Chain A
Amino acid sequence: DQQVKQNSPSLSVQEGRISILNCDYTNSMFDYFLWYKKYPAEGPTFLISISSIKDKNEDGRFTVFLNKSAKHLSLHIVPSQPGDSAVYFCAASWGGRGAGNMLTFGGGTRLMVKP
């Protein structure tokens, strides 16, 4: 049972344009969402997060949007740069007993930004 899904395995975007990566979740108990970026041969790197009490969080070129009613979040990258080419994972957590700080990850979306 995949509680966090990234339905697009890959995305190709032209440099300077907007990249939109999508993520859907099924567990309504999730209250904190994160995006990670991963380059080959490296561990995932934290990018941006959002609490369920917000619907938008912005950090430079990166903005995350959360639509709780649709159980959907998206990551916008504007403008996209070739260095953004990587695999992007969305992840979710909830603060319930026994959950610790466990993150549930989506399967990832490979973003390719073409010069």
Chain B
Amino acid sequence: EAEVAQSPRYKITEKSQAVAFWCDPISGHATLYWYRQILGQGPELLVQFQDESVVDDSQLPKDRFSAERLKGVDSTLKIQPAELGDSAMYLCASRTDSSHSGANVLTFGAGSRLTVL
């Protein structure tokens, strides 16, 4: 069964340090999302890509967060500098295309859990 790959699974860092997360979506999935999920809350969209283009990054704290998907395949999310409030699960998800027909469900990766000390 095809999966969304994410790494690292766990990351512990000190505040003010830089951290990066990587995501490889299911092959052929043009649409890729980065979400942040704080314990006990639902996922919060950070950025949406369609191929290599950013579709929505309105909720991305651009002073410290950046995301890229240079070749329209895998993607990297970076935080620099990390703050205590960034401690959360960072989830990557993908789906086949931007079509709005039917369910066109998201498939999530296992996530990267970040702890900032």
A binds B: no
